Amino acid sequence: MDPVKDLEFHRTLLPGDVQLSILPTRKLKTVQVSVYFGGNLDEQFTSRALLPQLLNRGTQKFSTLQAMQKQREELYGAFVSGGVAKFGEWHYLTFRLECVNGRFLPGDDDVFREGLQFLRDLIFDPCLSDGLFREEEFEQEKSNLTRQIESLIDQKDYYAFERLVQSMCPMEPYRRYEHGSTEDLESLSRLALTQYWQEVLTHAPREIYLVGDVDPQRATALFSEIFSEGQHAPEILWPPPVLEEPREFQEVRESMDVNQAKLCLGYRSKSTYSEGDLAAQILMDGILGSHSQSKLFQNVREKESLAYSVHSVLEKTKGLLFILAGVASEKVPQATEIIQKQIEDLQNGEITEAELTATRESIDNQLVLLEDNFNALVDIDFRWRLNGRPFQLREYRQELREVTRDRIQQAARDLWLDTVYLLDK
């Protein structure tokens, strides 16, 4: 018997055409809420990155960090917070609530309502001064975010990856770092950020997810009551980007005092969520470098001892594949050659039955675990729907099982090398 059941979201529209997706489950003793406010990865990306940091600082009712923390404790240790996420060339504000389900607390069935009200107030009713975000907190959070961005250079793996993306996509919105830029922060004012927050509430597309042991009708009524901000006019998000035609690859080298070289290869592909053969691309990526039995791990790290770490990553919205490796400086040429040979082997159809079977099993096991990882399930469902495709777990597993070796080979042939980036001494 197939252990994975179809996990069905109940979907409905709240006032203002806000999509609410509810997944009832008895596996949780908490309720989990995710609220997404959409935006393009445009010139406002730094404002969008700073905004949740200000919203996290307090509401009109709970105006200090201490008051916010006390309310979390009153809600039995509820988690309530906001952040930002980059999905391809979309940039989303994300707000989360997780609190204990009141039905498991004797005589305290209102804890979910109170938690939902707390989340609503954090988004829609922050503590302002004369109609603007409070000056001291604004300056503090600007400084905190500036330090966070500047500290990226101390995390050489992440820094190298961001530099690869900037080198690959110099004219594309995807080049922008999801947490903003220090230059934009320096010139950003309280008035501009407050006005941007008001624009988000008026124009940003919204989606809400709820997971827990809840009655969908009662939950829908509760959201309609508490998140009843009225009509808004959502902006139109950019469609998925048109894939670029192959070009001659570029080599970019940057010098820095590093313990080991960071070698990053960026490929473009014809497969995305909405175009091409996504299932074959996912299997191809698994065989190449996203699992421990992969070609990169076995041939670059284990057999040749050329890399301290090596793996591949898919960006399925834009159709990009990244190979990231930490390599001793003197071994960079050899490592580059062998990494590229793994791609060539896939393009030539050199895929063993053991590689294919191990990759299928690894991906399948990850999908089975989604039954108990509801945050990941919500994230996957949202990403797929954002790209215009429904995510159905059972059908997706079956689709992956049916991918042939020829389709995987073709997925590899659809790759073309765009950029080789090296961070070294």
Domains annotated on the chain, with CATH: 10-226 (3.30.830.10), 250-424 (3.30.830.10)
What does the pLDDT average to over 408-418?
Answer: 96
Can you read off the two tokens belonging to residue 95?
A: 């707000």
Q: Residue 2: is its pLDDT beyond 60?
A: no
**Residue 79 pLDDT:** 96
**Residue 16 pLDDT:** 79
What does the pLDDT average to over 357-384?
Answer: 93
Closest CA to 257 of 164, 336, 154: 154
What does the pLDDT average to over 238-242?
Answer: 73
**Residue 82 pLDDT:** 97
**Residue 231 pLDDT:** 58
Percent share of the chain, pLDDT over 90 = 81
- Rounded Cα–Cα distance for residues 421 and 163 (Å): 8
* Per-residue pLDDT band at 6 (split at 50, 70, 90): low
**Residue 4 pLDDT:** 44
- Give pTM, 2 decimals: 0.93
**Residue 108 pLDDT:** 59
Percent share of the chain, pLDDT over 70 = 96
How high is the mean pLDDT of the chain? 92
